Amino acid sequence: MEIRPVRKNLARIALSAPLSALAMATLLAACAQTPPGHDAASIARSATITRTAHGVAHIVAPNLATLAFGTAYAYAQDNICMSADHLLTVRGQRARWLGSAGVGELGRRRLPNEQIDTFVGALVDDAALLARWERNASADAKAMMLGYVDGYNHFLRLNAGRLPAACNGQPWVQPLRAVDMLRSTELAAAAGAAALAQAVVSARPPVATPAALVEPKAEPRIDLAAAEHLLREWGVIDPPLGSNAWAFGRETTADGSGLLLGNPHFPWVGINRFWQMHLTVPGQLDVMGASGGWSPVVQIGFNRDVAWTHTVSTGKRFTLHELTLVPGQPTSYVVDGQPVAMVPRPVKIAVRGADGALSEKTNTVWTTRFGPVLVLPQAGLAWTAQRAYAVQDANVGNQRMFDTWLEMAKARDVQGLRQAASRLGLPWVNTIAADRAGNAMYADLSVVPDVDAALLARCAPSPQAAALFRSPAGLVVLDGSKGDCQWRRDPASPAPGVIAPSRLPVAIRGDWVQNANDSYLHTHPQQTFDASISPLVGDAVVRRARTRASIAEIGELLAAGKITPQAVQQRLFDNRSFTAGVVLPDLLAACEATPPSQPEAREACTVLKAWDRRFDPGSRGAMLFREFWSAGAAIPGVWRVPADPAQPVTTPSGLKLADADVAGKLWAALAAAAGKMRSAGFALDAPVSAVQRSALGEPAIPVHGGIETEGVLNNVGNQFSPALTPRGWLIDYGTSYVQTVRFDARGPVASALLTYGQSSDPASPHATDQMRAFADKRWPVLPFHAEDVARARVGEVLRITRP
């Protein structure tokens, strides 16, 4: 058989730490004693999969290709139906198999199948992907990708007719190809363009009489507020998904080694959910952690010497280019006085009707030298007879991720991580890390268009488009009519048009660094950076209450003494609301001094006065505060002390209740919040555990934590329906793979939790088993060393051989 339990003596050898030639020889000698058909050649193609508590997969193989083969097989065991559905997305075949009426996920959005298929068909060029991969990828990365494809397909062959109910026997479950892996990488990297997919596929040239195409008309007004609302809804700016990360160095930790807290806030459903794995090639690689779907490498994790995590960075990934159109020719634009024709890209997609019959439909996407044309009419970015807008994404063609994370897995300290990340393969994340020697690092070595302040000024578009960058929408728009307004090309950059690593922010310290999705400027209060760093990397504005909470709570921890993993774990799951701390004092004082006229608001005052200002399971009043502040935060001029960049932690604060208009709106918001709670069927003082629950599994499991605006480090929420319903608040994203890692004489000492579980199959015992640990605030200890893995083994070891 190709799959069999490994005999106990072989398992002990394979799971030991065979770092020497002698140990490897022992392993091969033992393998030579395996049953017929498993000769030395087959051993080189064989991987073992050991599962420990919660189904965590430990894969061991003699080389990287076979390691990826085993990784894909183990991932498919837990997530085959989700993977098969994602394959329809990356191939642009959702409408073909599931019909145009359905929806799928592209990046962080749900879109109609037909729109997804059209966008994918326009963005992805298989021949170009394969040529670029062959030209630029390392031999190791190529081998791992092919091994991963083989592992996925091997699982399908051996389990035909025995898949989970959601996809068993379905014709849309198809084998994986190498180019599908590259397609998936392209879509994941180019998240900026993907977030604008609807705007790209909706772009059409203006239709009018010849005279109307020539006669100048008033340009559509760009509505900055509408632009901000739309782009926030689409996840282009300040997406709800984010992360916290703390790294402590030798000056602050109890044992003098580095200590890392990684707390990504990512989806609990879909291909972007994390999966835990431990990957070992004896003598070459030993790394543990988690990754999003279809990854043969660990993306967040640790090895024997260094631990790292990622947070979504503030860097811009794309720019818009304002095109001046040729009079009378709305599909031609002018560059340096010369006309340039747009290129129509017809995308043919197959669409399955309600009767099951297939029809063909052609949609056209228009492209320019910068990228596809888009329209955002709600924001005033329309395709008129005079102007159009194109989007250029710096991550299009970014295939450097595989090699970047592979090199990070082999790093021996934070400097090694820095060198690996300098490949600029990390598409849109910061790296926060700590190593055995007690160094703490923050680095935003992500992909950012090389546009400095001088180029921004020189290439300013029309005044109304330029205002988009200065507004909360934060869109960078350049004048597309000037040939010298292209992105800069620095010879020191591994990617043309992308800012070179030497001009990106990095801080390595002996005390601590942090990030909670605001810019590098808030890494540490005493950290300084080069003033010439591009404004596209980040600014001084604090947009996340979690940043304020993070810096404040680190200060409190340090004031209490040296830092330990237990103290960090407790602090994260204390669920304190920073926002409540700066809002409630003034509100409760006003409740006493000038009670509101609405009886609902007076009752709400009583509940909030008794609230412990946490989002713990037993906290009463937290959910009422959420409904109140969701409206209150949007009141113009609500803050008594406005934001001051020089005081990012302490400002803004207080409520401007001396202003009668603000006070009236706040009391109305408080009364409305009480009404919402009652309308949904909940008491005003209902505990968090009675209202906030996981969207996964039945019966629903209570979930602790708070949403973005509440300033709770343990951030949770709902991606697509963030609102109170009679079923409560149903949580489907947030704290996901959370880890603390320190180092002792043996290596890493890690505790980690995958809040939902390893499997996306509802029938799996590992679908929500870790959700219960999360609800109870339990941090499982991870077995990393071979002898610890052997002791923690659950079930038989699986040996699979690559065909």
Q: How many CB atoms lie within 10 A of CB 629?
A: 25
Q: Residue 440's pLDDT band (boundaries 50, 70, 90)?
A: very high
Whole-angstrom distance, CA of residue 688 vs CA of residue 705:
9
**Can you tell me the mean pLDDT for 707-729?**
95
pLDDT single digits (tens) 444-477: 999 999 999 999 999 999 998 898 888 888 899 9
Q: Residue 42 has what pLDDT? A: 84
pLDDT single digits (tens) 209-247: 555 555 555 666 777 888 888 888 887 877 766 899 999
Q: What is the value of pTM for the model shown?
A: 0.93
Q: Residue 41's pLDDT band (boundaries 50, 70, 90)?
A: confident
Place of tokens 């949609």: 363
pLDDT single digits (tens) 480-526: 999 999 999 999 999 999 999 999 999 999 999 999 999 999 999 99
Q: Residue 220 has what pLDDT? A: 65
Using the predicted structure, report yes or no on whether residue 552 has a pLDDT greater than 50.
Answer: yes
Place of tokens 């946490």: 614
Contact between residue 307 and residue 431 where contact means Cβ atoms under 8 Å apart = no
Between 557 and 649, residue with greater pLDDT: 557
pLDDT single digits (tens) 50-73: 999 999 999 999 999 999 999 999
pLDDT single digits (tens) 606-643: 999 999 999 999 999 999 999 999 999 999 999 999 99
Contact between residue 736 and residue 264 where contact means Cβ atoms under 8 Å apart = yes
Using the predicted structure, report yes or no on whether residue 22 has a pLDDT greater than 70.
Answer: no
Q: Which two tokens stand for residue 412?
A: 């021996």
Q: Residue 240 has what pLDDT? A: 64
Place of tokens 């071979």: 786
Q: Which two tokens stand for residue 121?
A: 């068909």
- Please state, rounded to an integer, the average pLDDT across all residues of the chain: 92
Q: Residue 218 has what pLDDT? A: 62
Name the pairing type of β-strands 729-731 and 748-754: unpaired
**Can you tell me the mean pLDDT for 762-784?**
97
Using the predicted structure, report yes or no on whether residue 198 has a pLDDT greater than 80.
Answer: yes
Q: Residue 31 has what pLDDT? A: 45
Whole-angstrom distance, CA of residue 96 vs CA of residue 353:
9
Share of the chain above pLDDT 90, in %: 84
Least confident residue range of 11-20, 399-408, 636-645: 11-20
CB crowding 705-736: b at 16 or more within 10 Å, else e: bbbbbbbbbbbbbbbeebebeeebbbbbbbbb
Using the predicted structure, report yes or no on whether residue 396 has a pLDDT greater than 80.
Answer: yes
Q: Residue 377 has what pLDDT? A: 85
Give start and end residues of each alpha helix (H) in 324-425.
401-410, 414-421
Whole-angstrom distance, CA of residue 704 vs CA of residue 727:
16
Between 3 and 605, residue with greater pLDDT: 605
pLDDT single digits (tens) 318-364: 999 999 999 999 999 999 999 999 999 999 999 999 999 999 999 99
**Can you tell me the mean pLDDT for 168-177?**
97
Please name which of 74, 297, 316, 293 lies closest in space to residue 184, comparing C-alpha atoms.
Answer: 293
For this structure, is 359 an active site residue? no
Place of tokens 């291909």: 271
Using the predicted structure, report yes or no on whether residue 8 has a pLDDT greater than 60.
Answer: no
Contact between residue 384 and residue 212 where contact means Cβ atoms under 8 Å apart = no
Q: Residue 426's pLDDT band (boundaries 50, 70, 90)?
A: very high
Share of the chain above pLDDT 70, in %: 93
Place of tokens 């001051």: 644
**Can you tell me the mean pLDDT for 739-759?**
97
Contact between residue 424 and residue 496 where contact means Cβ atoms under 8 Å apart = no
Place of tokens 């430990």: 58
**Can you tell me the mean pLDDT for 161-171?**
97
Q: Residue 23 has what pLDDT? A: 38
From 243, 257, 481, 619, active-site residue: 243
Give start and end residues of each alpha helix (H) in 540-621.
545-560, 565-572, 578-593, 599-610
Q: How many CB atoms lie within 10 A of CB 151?
A: 27
Using the predicted structure, report yes or no on whether residue 28 has a pLDDT greater than 70.
Answer: no
